[in-house]
Chain A
Amino acid sequence: MRLTLGPVFYNWPADQWSDFYAGIADEAPVDRVVIGEVVCSKRLPFYQDHIPKAVERLQRGGKEVVLASLGLVTLPRERKMLSDLAESGLPVEVNDLTMLRHLKPGTRFTVGPLVNVYNEGTLGLLAGRGATTVCLPPELGFASVAALTAEGLRLGAEIEIWAFGRLPLAISGRCYHARLAGLTKDSCQFVCDADPDGLAVETLDGQPFLAVNGVQTVSECWANLVGDLTRLAEVGVGSLRLSPHTGDMTEVARLFRSAADSRIGPDEAIAGLAALAPERRFSNGFLFGQFGAEWTH
Chain B
Amino acid sequence: MNVPELELVCPAGTPAALRAAVDAGAHTVYCGFADETNARNFPGLNFSRDEMAAGAAYAHGAGSKLLVAINTFPRAGAEEIWHRAVDDAQAAGADAVILADLGLLAYAAEHRPGLRRHLSVQAAAANADAITFYAETFGVKRVVLPRVLSVEEITAINRDIDVETEVFVFGGLCVMAEGRCSLSSYATGRSPNMSGACSPASHVVYTEEQGELVSRLGNFTIHKVPRDAPAPYPTLCKGCFSAGGQTGHVFEDPMSLDAAELIPRLAEAGVTALKIEGRQRSRAYVSAVVKSFRRATDAIAAGRPVPVSELAHLTEGQSSTLGAYRKNWR
- A, B in one complex: yes
Seen from chain A, the residues whose Cβ lies within 8 Å of a Cβ on chain B are 72-76, 78-79, 82, 96-98, 100-102, 114, 116, 118-126, 137-140, 143-144, 147-148, 151, 167, 169-176, 178-180, 184-186, 199-207, 209-210, 212, 217, 219, 285-286, 289-293
Q: Is the CB of B77 within 8 A of A147?
A: yes
Secondary structure type dominating chain A contacts:
mixed
Check: B284 CB closer than 8 A to any chain A CB.
no
Closest 6 CB pairs of A and B: A121-B103, A173-B148, A291-B189, A292-B186, A185-B330, A147-B76
Which chain B positions have C-beta within 8 A of A185?
A: 330
> For the complex, is B107 an interface residue (Cβ under 8 Å from A)?
yes
**B183 touches A (CB below 8 Å):** yes
**B73-A116 in contact (CB<8A):** yes
Instruction: Determine if A174 and B129 form an interchain contact, defined as CB atoms under 8 angstroms apart.
Output: no
Q: Give the docked Cα–Cα distance between A143 and B246 (Å).
A: 40
Which of B125, B127, B132, B221 contacts A207, CB < 8 Å?
A: B221
In the complex, which residues of chain A have a beta carbon less than 8 angstroms from the beta carbon of B330? 173-175, 178, 184-186
Given contacts A176-B243, A184-B329, A209-B220, 8 further A-B contacts (CB under 8 A): A101-B129, A116-B193, A121-B104, A122-B102, A199-B244, A210-B186, A219-B186, A289-B189
Contact call B241/A119, Cβ cutoff below 8 A: no
Q: Contacts A72-B148, A203-B220 known; A116 to B101 CB distance under 8 Å?
A: yes
B129:A73 contact, CB within 8 angstroms:
yes
B→A interface (CB under 8 Å): 73-79, 100-104, 106-107, 124-130, 132-133, 146-149, 153, 156, 175-177, 179-183, 185-189, 191, 193-194, 218-224, 237, 240-244, 246-247, 250-252, 324, 327-330
> CB-CB < 8 A to B149: which residues of A?
74, 173
Q: 15 A-B Cβ contacts within 8 A? A: A72-B148, A75-B153, A82-B129, A97-B102, A97-B125, A116-B180, A119-B75, A122-B101, A140-B76, A170-B181, A173-B146, A174-B324, A201-B241, A217-B183, A291-B218
Give the residue name and chain of the B residue nearest to A217 (CB).
B183
CB–CB B77/A98 < 8 A: no
- B130–A118 contact, CB under 8 A? no
Cβ B106 vs Cβ A169 within 8 A: no
Interchain nearest-CB distance for B282 vs A (Å): 29
> Cβ of B180: which chain A residues have Cβ within 8 Å of it?
72, 114, 116, 170-171
Given the complex, which residues of B lie within 8 Å of A205, measured CB to CB?
Answer: 221
Contact B103 A122, beta carbon cutoff 8 Å:
yes
Report the nearest B residue to A138, measured CB to CB: B182
B124: chain A residues within 8 A (beta carbon): 72
In the assembled complex, the CB of A127 is this many whole angstroms from the nearest CB of chain B, namely 11
Inter-subunit contact B75/A292 (CB<8 Å): no
Name which residue of chain A comes closest to B216, CB basis.
A203
Q: Which of B103, B223, B242 contacts A201 (CB 8 A)?
A: B242
The answer to whether B127 and A169 touch across the interface, beta carbons within 8 angstroms, is: no
B250 touches A116 (CB 8 A): no
